[in-house]
Structure 1
């Protein structure tokens, strides 16, 4: 199955890449999650627009990624959860979008939520580590404090 990627897919490609994948992987994983669109003549014309939009969001180069990683290293990030039980268990979980919003309010650099990798589900208050993938060669760990709101 020939597809055009609309998002970064690990071990497959970047947005705008035209890839050939097995039918089941494309039908059951990539297409339902809106990570790819079928490669038709009309869609191939959209590749340039997809790549331009990705470049606008992307970290410029390796040096810029290292600079952003340095900014994130010295940042104290607190995520306020909506509610928690008596034992410190959250009603819900902390998502990558919550982490990005907390970094922005803490005065950090703007991040793409797809670059933030939250391990499993954060469902308790306390300090947790998340990974931020800024560049293919630069990843950084960010400690976040989750407090009940």
Structure 2
């Protein structure tokens, strides 16, 4: 049988599994969860899986290139400092807006992993979750003025 959807205890979509005749005839086929695996169906499945695998490799390469582009950046922001204490903070919205305006990089602020408040002078490393479980690190330098 070729599974058309995930089936608990048997496998995920597009897996080729062996099941009892009764289970296939009485449950999987009527529920449209699986089809009988003929030679043609199996060969079509293999071709489609190879195409999907190639597309995934190309997508991962694009994401890796995007990661490198992000990691090459070194952004600077300024905070007002009075009597040695900085006032205000730098928000993720400000960072995202600046990335969009200056570098034409569009990142949703929800992609940033949790971090400390950016309200002190110093260098911060922010982690950004990209597709395919790839994480990029953005350097943010906060200076006093």
Given the superposition, is the C-alpha separation of residues 147 and 105 from structure 1 closer, same or farther in structure 2, using an over 3 Å criterion? farther
Counterpart Cα distance in 2 of 1:133 and 1:63 = 15
The Cα shift of 1:105 comes to 4.2
- Across the aligned residues of Structure 1 and Structure 2, the Cα RMSD in angstroms comes to 2.4
Matched, 1:96 2:98: no
Query: Relative to structure 1, is the Cα distance of residues 65 and 86 closer, same or farther in structure 2, using a 3 angstrom cutoff?
Result: farther
Q: CA deviation at 1:131?
A: 0.7
Gaps of 5+ in 1: 1-59
Match of 2:107 among 106, 111, 131: 111
Q: 1:86 maps to which residue?
A: 83
Q: 1:118 to 1:145 in 2, by over 3 A?
A: farther
1:97-120 superposed Cα distances (whole Å, 9 cap, x missing partner): 122123234425221111123512
In structure 2, runs of 5+ residues without a counterpart are 1-57
For normalisation by structure 1, the TM-score amounts to: 0.50
What's the TM-score once normalised by structure 2's chain length? Answer: 0.51
Size of the aligned set, in residue pairs, is: 88
**In 1, distance between residues paired with 2:81 and 2:97?**
20
CA distance in 1, matches of 2:117, 2:111: 16
The structure where helix makes up a greater share of residues is 2
1:137 to 133, 138, 143: 133
Write the mapping of 1:61-80 to structure 2, written as runs, cut at 5 A.
61-80=59-78
Moved over 3 A (4+): none
SS at match of 2:107: coil
For the residues of structure 1 that align with 2:133 and 2:87, how far apart are their CA atoms? 36
- Cα distance, 1:78 vs. partner? 1.2
